[in-house]
Amino acid sequence: IPDLERTDVQGLLNHLQDANAVKFQWMKRRIVQMWPKWQAAISSLKNKKDLTKTVQKKVLIHIGLLANENKLHFAEEAGKGGPLGELVQWSDVITSLYILGHDITVTADLAAIQKALGNVVAKKLCPQKLPNDIDLVYVDYIGLRELNSKIGTLLPQFLCKLRVVDSFGTEAQFNFNLYKEKIDGGSMGAYGRYNLNLRQYQTMFPHSPDNTFLGFVVNVKPLENTDKKMRRKAKALVYGKHYSMWKDLPNKTFLEVVNRYLEVHATVGGGSASEVSSHLPSFVINHGVVTPMEVQKLLNESMVFVGLGFPYEGPAPLEAIANGCFFINPKFNPPRSRLNTPFFKNKPTLRLFTSQHPYCEEFIGKPHVYTIDVKNVSEVERVMKEIMLKEVDPYLPFEFTHEGMLERVNALVQHQDFCYQNHWPPLKALITEKGGAGKSCKDVCLAKGMVCEPEFFNSINSRTSLIEHGFPCNTSRLEEVPSLIAPGFRPEPAACIVQTQALMFSCTGTSPSTMRLCPCRKYKKGQVALCVDC
């Protein structure tokens, strides 16, 4: 039975202990600051859903990126312009699991996780003694690699319990360890090849339907009328909290255009004041890296939040839109990916980034988001003129609210089970669609207002199913192969393709000559990870 009466934040903070007090400092502050919102969200969810029937899970959480603080400096850099997206997500995942009443253990060093795992024998997990009372293990790629190399090869009974928190997503060809074809881009080295169910990779945004959208939450302060007036006083806030994000900008002219209309503010750190300011145009009013509360205040006073092209897919643009700003989202043409961009070179995905923030581009769009080529000064000028004449209301998709996250995490923890192959979402949600040649199932489903649901691939993976959906498979040759585009039909020479390797099912796989049969499902409005009746 879950403990659903956790009203005291101290109970959660007690779980975040480490000899190095800095490790959890930023996360603890976020948790304390958001605690009243979490409390309101769980009360609201309890009114809508009977949570007393849910099952309490024993959950181990290992934050690998903090366990390597001496090399990676995530915690130390948190207040100096270093990456915070990951700390945002970990804080929110931990808080969700705690508030939903689960029995959690949080570790951020190798010795601590070894202890938490219990029966670890001389660098190897002893199969007979595997701690079988642990239901779920949340870890990141860094932690997973470390477990594997320092503790020993992970056993199937343990692997199926993993949930790998993975910002940018992992595709089938990077996960299946016997994938034979050459993959363009960088190495496979650091990531991938774990043969997990792809839905065990849990992402920050709903960008990879093969994986699970886990998410995070966005802080909103309701706008007062006076704020709206202040906004007219016209500030722009630039998205870029480390001077390195400004240093390599090919062209800062567009900021000059913005500055013709608005005062340009920023929160940039990463070095001494003189080092930082040497990389900023002189008209930029720099506040230095500030606390999340101060970011929110600046956003409340700003009219527009301006992307520089990096960082990719962070939380900040959602915060800006939720606090009533327009977001100028730099468009990438050609799109960026592991084929042409060092940042993505070794990431386990071939996903194409058509802008700095694809979620804002695809899921939010106008009137909140302007995805434009910022090198094109006249386009920036046109957009600024348009923005100056407009008002926009704050907007936050439900899936990024505290309640939205609790609803989603609750559903995932209760229903996803990769050890006993529990089938979820239920098959009744399956809607099968035929795709045109060269189209991925992600695109085929999206074009019909749905999402690709990998859980259902198995149910449509047969000659019979291909025939039922109009492919001439009673007369064509049958190819039974491991394939990223199965099930599907290739007209020339005519062949029906059926999958023989479940780890190769892929929502994103395409071939110019093949039409795919796709497992789609509808989703709850504002909560893409869930379907209406599941």
Among 64, 270, 292, 324, binds ligand U2F (CB under 6 A): 292
To ligand U2F, the closest distance from the beta carbon of 146 in angstroms equals 19
To ligand U2F, the closest distance from the beta carbon of 196 in angstroms equals 20
Q: What number of chain residues touch ligand U2F (CB under 6 A)?
A: 21
Q: Which stretch binds ligand U2F (CB under 6 A): 81-89, 149-157, 301-309, 320-328?
A: 81-89
Among 18, 86, 146, 443, binds ligand U2F (CB under 6 A): 86
Q: Is the dihedral of CA 131, 132, 134, 140 positive or negative?
A: positive
- Rounded Cα–Cα distance for residues 164 and 155 (Å): 16
Which amino acid belongs to residue 367?
A: P
By beta carbon distance, the residue nearest ligand U2F is 85
To ligand U2F, the closest distance from the beta carbon of 411 in angstroms equals 23
DSSP state of 153: P
Specify the residue for token string 């192959």.
Answer: 421
- Rounded Cα–Cα distance for residues 512 and 474 (Å): 23
- Rounded Cα–Cα distance for residues 262 and 35 (Å): 35
Q: Which helix (DSSP H) or strand (DSSP E) does residue 76 occupy? A: helix 74-77
Q: Which stretch binds ligand U2F (CB under 6 A): 309-317, 362-370, 383-391, 445-453?
A: 309-317
Assign 424 to helix, strand or coil.
coil
Nearer to ligand U2F (CB atom), residue 83 or residue 271: 83
- Contact predicate 193/201, CB 8 Å: no
- Contact predicate 329/317, CB 8 Å: yes
Q: Which stretch binds ligand U2F (CB under 6 A): 40-48, 315-323, 402-410, 469-477?
A: 315-323
To ligand U2F, the closest distance from the beta carbon of 278 in angstroms equals 19
Nearer to ligand U2F (CB atom), residue 315 or residue 394: 315
98-29-226-224 Cα dihedral, nearest 10 degrees = 10
Pick from 486, 516, 455: nearest CA to 198:
455
- Contact predicate 499/482, CB 8 Å: yes
Nearer to ligand U2F (CB atom), residue 2 or residue 292: 292
To ligand U2F, the closest distance from the beta carbon of 300 in angstroms equals 12
To ligand U2F, the closest distance from the beta carbon of 205 in angstroms equals 9
Q: Which stretch binds ligand U2F (CB under 6 A): 52-60, 153-161, 287-295, 451-459?
A: 287-295
Nearer to ligand U2F (CB atom), residue 352 or residue 419: 352
To ligand U2F, the closest distance from the beta carbon of 267 in angstroms equals 3
Nearer to ligand U2F (CB atom), residue 85 or residue 281: 85
Q: Which stretch binds ligand U2F (CB under 6 A): 83-91, 386-394, 397-405, 506-514?
A: 83-91
To ligand U2F, the closest distance from the beta carbon of 148 in angstroms equals 22
Which amino acid belongs to residue 195?
A: N
Nearer to ligand U2F (CB atom), residue 158 or residue 305: 305
Tokens coding 357: 């923030």
To ligand U2F, the closest distance from the beta carbon of 224 in angstroms equals 20
- Contact predicate 474/467, CB 8 Å: yes
- Whole-angstrom CA distances from 161 to 145, 199, 418, 482, 500 are 16, 12, 7, 25, 24
Q: Please, which of residues 95-154 interact with ligand U2F by CB under 6 A?
A: none
Tokens coding 101: 């009443």
Give the Cβ contact number of residue 372 at 10 Å: 18
Among 4, 112, 223, 290, binds ligand U2F (CB under 6 A): 290
Give the Cβ contact number of residue 381 at 10 Å: 15
Among 214, 237, 255, 289, binds ligand U2F (CB under 6 A): 289
Q: Which stretch binds ligand U2F (CB under 6 A): 82-90, 329-337, 389-397, 456-464?
A: 82-90
Among 62, 231, 241, 338, binds ligand U2F (CB under 6 A): 241
414-419-423-424 Cα dihedral, nearest 10 degrees = 40
Which amino acid belongs to residue 253?
A: T
DSSP state of 80: T
Among 18, 69, 210, 319, binds ligand U2F (CB under 6 A): 319
> Is residue 267 close enough to count as binding ligand U2F by CB under 6 A?
yes
Q: Look at strands 369-372 and 451-452 and give their pairing.
A: unpaired
Among 13, 49, 85, 281, binds ligand U2F (CB under 6 A): 85
Among 209, 311, 397, 487, binds ligand U2F (CB under 6 A): 311
For residue 315, cis peptide bond before it (omega within 30 degrees of 0): no
DSSP state of 127: G
Q: Look at strands 353-355 and 326-336 and give their pairing.
A: antiparallel
- Contact predicate 472/492, CB 8 Å: no
> Is residue 295 close enough to count as binding ligand U2F by CB under 6 A?
yes
Q: Please, which of residues 35-74 interact with ligand U2F by CB under 6 A?
A: none
Site pattern 195..224 for ligand U2F (x: CB under 6 A)? ---------x--------------------
DSSP characters over 149-175: III-PPPHHHHTTEEEE-SS---HHHH
Residues interacting with ligand U2F, by CB under 6 A?
Answer: 83-86, 88, 167, 204, 241, 267, 289-292, 295, 311-316, 319
